[in-house]
Every structure is written in C-alpha cells, then in structure tokens.
Amino acid sequence: MSAALKVTVLTVSDTRTQETDTSGAFLEEALRDAGHEIADRQIVIDDVYQLRAIVSQWIADPDVEVILTTGGTGFSGRDSTPEALAPLFDKTIDGFGEVFRALSHTEIGSSTVQSRALAGLANGTVIFCMPGSTGACRTAWEGVLRDQLDSEHKPCNFVGLLRGH
C-alpha cells in the first residue's frame, strides 16, 4: 500500500469560484482516489504576494507534504505563479516542466511552449505548479504526479524526500 500524503490544492485565478473550479476539483478527486488526504484547498487571485503568502504558510506547516497549484503559469498579463513561487524553492525540479511540456505537445502541439509549468522542493515539501486548464491538470496527474507521489513507484519517487517519510 502506498503512503498516504497530506496534500494542499491551490487554484490561482481571478475568476474561478469553488463551484467553477473544475481543475481544483479534478486534482482533489484524483488525489483522494489515490489514497491521499486533502489538507486544504483554496482559491487565490493571481497576485504574487497573496500566492506567496499562502504557499509559504503551507511550506512552514509540518502537516503539509505536497502542494499542487493550478493556474497562473502562462504569459498573460497577470500570470505570476512562477515569479511568486520559484524564489521559495530550495531546489528546482527541472524535469517536471520538461516532461509536462513533452506530454502536452502531443495534445496541444506547439502551444505548449507557452506553459511555464514548474516544480520544486522547499522545507521537505514538494510543490508542483500546473496550468489552469483541467486538461493540463489531467496530463500532469496521469503523466507525472500519480507515479511520483506513489511511495511504491520504482525506480524512484518523491515520497522519500518529504519530511516525515
């Protein structure tokens, strides 16, 4: 049995509500189906400082092991997730963005170059930042996250790097 992780989900959007947040809902359902616990789920406007404040609080919380964000990774005027969160990383997980864009290329072609999906480790917490579409969240979950958050996935996964594991 894979280790159950305590995960938070943050939707970065100026327009979504709990009722219209299909990406956050997809991630929450996928996590629960995989046996993980949702420690918190929030929506925040696309503001560097509000985004950084929420994620910093979760990084400091010893009960949060994984942070998933959706939205704010494009090139539109207010997209600021990379600028907000990259400075918080102790180590960057370059492979996440690379693999995500490779998988995404088969689905949306060259438009994937406009994705600034990124990931990192901070204080024993792994953080994955995905685009805001539900399709992108599904691609990230099925192509990377499901396996990398599974303690039994071989030859390696992120679970052993998380605090408390």
Q: Give the model confidence (pLDDT) of 51-105 as tens digits.
A: 999 999 999 999 999 999 999 999 888 899 999 999 999 999 999 999 999 999 9
Q: Residue 65: inside a domain, yes or no?
A: yes
Predicted local confidence at residue 1, as pLDDT: 55
Decide which of 165 and 102 is more confident.
102
Q: Residue 118: inside a domain, yes or no?
A: yes
Which residues constitute the domain of residue 47? 6-161
Q: Residue 1: inside a domain, yes or no?
A: no
Which residue type occupies 40? D
Indicate if the pLDDT at residue 9 is higher than 80. Answer: yes
Q: Residue 32: inside a domain, yes or no?
A: yes
* Cβ neighbours, 10 Å, residue 66: 23
- What's the rounded Cα separation, in Å, for the pair 101 and 115? 7
Domain CATH number, residue 142:
3.40.980.10
Mean pLDDT computed over 34-55: 97
Q: Give the model confidence (pLDDT) of 116-163 as tens digits.
A: 999 999 999 999 999 999 999 999 999 999 999 999 999 999 999 997
User: For the chain, what is the domain count?
Assistant: 1
What would the DSSP string read from start to end of 42-89?
Answer: EEE-S-HHHHHHHHHHHHH-TT--EEEEES--SSSTT--HHHHHGGG-
